[in-house]
Amino acid sequence: MEGKEEDVRLGANKFSERQPIGTAAQGTDDKDYKEPPPAPLFEPGELKSWSFYRAGIAEFVATFLFLYISILTVMGVSNSQSKCATVGIQGIAWSFGGMIFALVYCTAGISGGHINPAVTFGLFLARKLSLTRAIFYIVMQCLGAICGAGVVKGFQKGLYMGNGGGANVVAPGYTKGDGLGAEIVGTFILVYTVFSATDAKRNARDSHVPILAPLPIGFAVFLVHLATIPITGTMPGMTTGSSGSAPSSALPWPPSTTR
Using a pLDDT cut of 70, give the percent of the chain over it.
70
pLDDT, tens digit, for every residue of 36-87?
788 888 888 888 899 999 999 999 999 999 999 988 888 877 777 666 667 7
- Whether the predicted pLDDT of 22 surpasses 70: no
The pTM assigned to this predicted structure is: 0.74
How far is the C-alpha of 196 from the C-alpha of 203, rounded, in Å?
Answer: 10
Residue 246 CA: distances (Å) to CA of 28, 48, 68, 179: 61, 36, 14, 21
* DSSP secondary structure string for all residues of 34-69: -PPPPPPS--GGGGG-HHHHHHHHHHHHHHHHHHHH
Q: Which position has the higher pLDDT, 26 or 216?
A: 216
Are 122 and 193 contacting, i.e. CB atoms less than 8 angstroms apart?
no
Q: In this predicted structure, what is the pLDDT of residue 242?
A: 52
CB 40 within 8 A of CB 65: no
Distance CA 217, CA 167 (A): 23
| Confidence band for 251, pLDDT divided at 50, 70 and 90 | very low
Distance of alpha carbon 139 from alpha carbon 234, whole angstroms: 18
Mean per-residue pLDDT, 166-170:
73
For residues 62 and 221, what is the distance between their CA atoms, to the nearest angstrom? 15
For the chain, which domains are there?
A: 46-257 (1.20.1080.10)
Residue of 258 and 240 predicted with greater confidence: 240
Q: From residue 22, give the alpha-carbon distance in Å to each of 19, 206, 239.
A: 8, 7, 37
**pLDDT over 80 at 257, yes or no:** no
| pLDDT tens-digit map of 107-152 | 999 999 999 999 999 999 999 999 999 999 999 999 999 999 999 9
- Distance, in Å, from the CA atom of 221 to the CA atom of 48, rounded to the nearest integer, reads 34
Average pLDDT, the chain: 78
Supply the DSSP symbol for 112.
Answer: -
Q: What is the pLDDT of residue 67?
A: 92
Non-local (6+) Cβ contacts of 241 within 8 A are 63, 67, 142, 144, 145, 146, 147, 148, 149
Report CA-CA distances (Å) from 104 to 11, 142, 158, 204, 240: 39, 17, 32, 20, 20
pLDDT band at 253 (very low <50, low <70, confident <90, very high): very low
Rounded to an integer, what distance in angstroms lies between the CA atom of residue 153 and that of residue 139?
21
What pLDDT score does 173 carry?
A: 85
pLDDT at residue 28, as a whole number: 45
